[in-house]
Structure 1
Amino acid sequence: MKMTGNTILVTGGTSGIGRALAEAFHDRGNRVIITGRRPALLKEIAANRPGLVAMPLDLVDPASLARLMREVGACFPELNVLIANAGMSRTEDMTAPGWNVATAQSIIDTNIMGVLHVTAAFLPILKTRPNATIMATSSNLAFIPRADFPAYCASKAFLHSWLQSLRHQLRTVPVEVLELAPPYVQTQLTGERQASDPRAMPVVDYVAEVMQLIEAGEHPRGEVLVERDRARRWAEREGCYEAMFAAMNPA
């Protein structure tokens, strides 16, 4: 992926990793379009960063995605990078009386189907553009799950597998497929506490390391793994999966 001169669409670009990536690429001289579900926040972000474009998008609303497709196609036909970052996370207690799949369904609709829908929407454009890239955000928890976030971890494992298949199918098409698998980062993904948790990696540090890896082309198999990602990614190969799982999920 080239670092400058792109037109980049970022889903989930109003906070956390998505916003930090959008701003980092904008600082590099790229045209960046962020999307999100909160119009007031989109307007505020765009006003504070001249040149950044903000467009509303609710990934679980087909009409919203169709509208975005039309607007991007009309205004930014040069689009060549999609960063599919939007996601949600919730705990689930499957032993609780009355447990149902409502939370899991919401996570699947956003984390899985949202990525698939937005990729399907913009892949025809990307296939016609030089230096095209699709980058999607999975998670370090795709490799070893936190058992109290079952659907979230499973959704990210799905993306890890699906992106491998997408990469293989596009092997003769000039569209690069990259995967981010962040560790525990100081965002509001699970609430305010995570954003200030000293155990979590500062989002600015995470994105700075990601940008360095992308610029250097250090992403074997299309996986952009920062240093904190690597132990969990290779835990099974190194024979320490069970110990790591136990440490993350105390009995």
Structure 2
Amino acid sequence: MKTTGNTVFISGGSAGIGLAIAKKLSAAGNRIIINGRNSQRLQIALSELNDAVALQGDLSVEADRIRIAQELAAQHPDVNIVINNAGTAFMNNLGDSTNDAVGKAYQEINTNYLSVIHFTSLVLPHLLKQADAAIVNVTSIAVFRGNKYLPTYSASKAALHSYTQGLRDTFAENDKLNIYELYPPLVNTEFSAEIGGANGIPASEVADELLLALANDQFEVPVGDAKRFHQLAEPLSVSSH
């Protein structure tokens, strides 16, 4: 699809991967709408972007999802790309009975999976009216295998991965709407600091790979180490349109 002249909504766009994507797409000549929970962080992010606006809100909360979808339709009718990037993760020791493993899992499943399904259903009618539209779901290298540090986070992203494949199949015959999945590996962001993010790749590398994928209509977008795992899993995937 075209990589300039779009209006792009990015959840979790005030920091980390979301902000890196916002900067890259802004520099390419796209209008950017960033979302985040913290107003101060959104304002700081806006100072680093050209021709961008912010919609504050927590997409893990149903009322905020509904409000933001309504604001997009009413105030930004030319939105044609939605990037579902907002997420949450917890170190979750399944062997510690005092750890509240299920409480952490509930939050991860709600934010990383259920909220994405609901928000996508809210914005789909608008996107389907556009001449050239896309949904980008940001999953993770963790979809390919869980681990003892982030077992329930990995499960939530694996669920989002499966949903994304189903969404792509649903609209396989619609040439005006493309469904992308972005698989970052460990990335050096504040989000991943607790799990050794300082050893990860820069967020700008993830943004570069996404922009290239959009230009080439490459709907599966593994980045860095995720490419190796994706190559092994790819024969099991249903081909995209």
TM-score normalised to structure 1 length: 0.86
Distance 1:236 1:8 in 2: 30
Q: What residue number does 1:143 align with?
A: 144
**What is the aligned partner in structure 1 of residue 119 from structure 2?**
118
1:231 matches 2:223: no
3-state SS of the aligned residue for 1:55? strand
Tell me what 2:238 maps to.
none
Shift of 1:117: 1.7
Q: CA-to-partner distance for each residue in 1:184-234, whole Å, 9 max, x for gaps? A: 11112233674432xx111122322332233233x2xx2112353221224
Give the conservation status (yes or no) of the 8 Å contact 1:144–1:232.
no
Looking at structure 2, the residues matched to 118 and 67 of structure 1 have their Cα atoms a distance apart, in angstroms, of: 10
Letter in 2 for 1:32: I
Mapping 1:29-178, distance limit 5 Å:
29-100=29-100, 101-173=102-174, 174-178=176-180
SS at match of 2:14: coil
Q: Does 1:188 align with 2:168?
A: no
Report the 3-state secondary structure (helix = DSSP H, G, I; strand = E; otherwise coil) of the residue aligned with 1:25: helix
Q: Which has the larger radius of gyration?
A: 1
CA distance in structure 1 between the partners assigned to 2:233 and 2:39 by the alignment: 43
RMSD: 1.9
The percentage of aligned residue pairs carrying the same residue is 32
Contact preservation (8 Å) 2:88, 2:111? yes
Moved over 6 A (4+): none
Deviation at 1:178, TM superposition (A): 0.3
Extract unaligned runs of 5+ from structure 2. 236-241
Aligned residue pair count: 233
157 and 52 in structure 1: CA distance in 2 versus 1, 3 angstrom threshold: same
Q: Answer whether contact 2:184 2:224 (CA < 8 A) is retained.
A: no
TM-score (norm 2): 0.90
CA positional deviation for 1:53: 0.6
Deviation digits for residues 40-85 of structure 1, max 9, x if unmatched?
1112222343411111020122221222122211211111110000
Local SS of the residue matching 1:190? helix
Per-residue CA deviation, residues 90-122 of structure 1 (Å, 9 max, x unaligned), is: 111111123431011111110011211210110
Cross-structure match for 1:15: 15
